[in-house]
Amino acid sequence: MNKLIKLGKRVVAGALLCGAMTFGVAGAEPAPAIDGMEALREVISAPAKQDTRVFRQDLQFFIPALRADLGLTGYTKGHNLRVSGDLELVFIGDDGSTTDMTFPFFLDQKKKEMTLYFKTDKEWKKFQAPTLAAAATDEIVTPDEQEVEEILSTVKSATVLRETDAQRTLLVQLDNEKLADLIAQYSKQNPPDKGTADDAEVHNAFMDCLEKGMRRANIWYTWTVDKSDWRTITMSYNLSSLVQETARVALEQPHAWPKAFDDFLERIAFYSDMKTYTIFLNDDAKKRVELPAEAKNATLVEDVLSDDATNVK
């Protein structure tokens, strides 16, 4: 169970940090009806008109043995980001018994500095991640012309599902091969540099499966924007295909995983469901994003996924 939870922590931590970065602001002047790719380009490339935004993000993952719900509220102001939320896990045993776990967390990013606060058992810990802070800053600011082209290069197709005087809704199909190339590039540029040799081996095996799974996956999202100022209203990603295909690749490489993972991987490969939902809120919702008083004296840790940080025995 320890190894299973540790691997799960890697997946969930990645999903948490990636999920917290789907808050990009869009802006543009109203334009005549255009085709899907041009409509997407217009939304992505226009300058933001609002310096602050509040959003609600939910990530839901389910297999017969596990349900995970990641819920967070985020607040952006300029190049800064604050996020507060909870990760709730329910493990379902073969005998029908259940084990519940809840992990509160808080993320504070100020330009080039980022601190992740999280609570395990009864103690708050914190982890500093300047690299992720830089990535978050890139997401918040309006992309330049080159960055717009890079974003569009990861899109296979875009369709305008609904166009009214007030809103535009897009269905965007992502280019899985291009995204897989980016995963391979990221993995090469960011090799595991901490933990045991076993941790590094598992990390490399997981990234390899993720890359190959991405090449088989079918990933899309819907995006609704407000045409008065072209801000995001809602966003929804369907990631089920990605997690299923990644698990199927892992099943084809049994030497990389403990035998005990087989049943867990089979459930992910054939029965899993994973989606994310983002809704932008009124400004007064920012009062929900506050660092808990008890977290202000959190213990600093060097690795958010270590046993010392998470107290998983």
Domain ranges of the chain: 2-298
Which of 115, 155, 117 lies closest to 136 in space, CA to CA?
A: 115
Of the listed ranges 97-106, 137-146, 162-171, the one predicted with least confidence: 137-146
| Rounded Cα distance, 19 and 105, in Å | 14
pLDDT band (50, 70, 90) for residue 126: very high
Average pLDDT over residues 22-36: 51
State the pLDDT at residue 142: 67
| Cβ atoms of 107 and 295 closer than 8 Å | no
Hunting for tokens 């901490």 — which residue is that?
194
> What are the structure tokens assigned to 257, written together?
């995983």
Question: Which one of 15-19, 79-83, 103-107, 200-204 scores highest in mean pLDDT?
Answer: 103-107
Could you say which DSSP state residue 143 is in? Answer: P
| Cβ atoms of 107 and 133 closer than 8 Å | no
Average pLDDT over residues 155-159: 96
State the pLDDT at residue 278: 93
Could you say which DSSP state residue 79 is in? Answer: T
Question: Which one of 39-48, 254-263, 303-312 scores highest in mean pLDDT?
Answer: 39-48
Hunting for tokens 């035998």 — which residue is that?
259
pLDDT band (50, 70, 90) for residue 50: low
Computed over every residue of the chain, the mean pLDDT equals 81
Tell me: the pLDDT tens digits for 219-249? Answer: 999 999 998 888 889 999 999 999 999 999 9
pLDDT band (50, 70, 90) for residue 139: low
State the pLDDT at residue 57: 93
Q: What strands, in cross-sheet order, belong to the sheet with 299-300?
A: 155-163, 167-174, 220-226, 232-238, 273-281, 52-63, 66-77, 80-92, 98-110, 113-120, 123-128, 299-300
| Rounded Cα distance, 55 and 38, in Å | 26
Q: Is the backbone of residue 99 left (phi > 0), alpha (psi -120 to 50) or beta?
A: beta
Average pLDDT over residues 101-129: 88
Residue 258: CB atoms within 10 Å = 12
State the pLDDT at residue 309: 55
| Rounded Cα distance, 242 and 74, in Å | 25
Tell me: the pLDDT tens digits for 246-297? Answer: 999 999 987 777 777 888 899 999 999 999 999 999 888 888 898 889 998 9
Average pLDDT over residues 85-95: 93
| Rounded Cα distance, 110 and 107, in Å | 10
Which of 267, 169, 172 lies closest to 219 in space, CA to CA?
A: 172
| Rounded Cα distance, 43 and 231, in Å | 9
* pTM over the 0.85 mark: no
Tell me: the pLDDT tens digits for 170-221? Answer: 999 999 999 999 999 988 887 776 555 556 787 888 899 999 999 999 999 9
| Rounded Cα distance, 85 and 45, in Å | 30
State the pLDDT at residue 47: 72
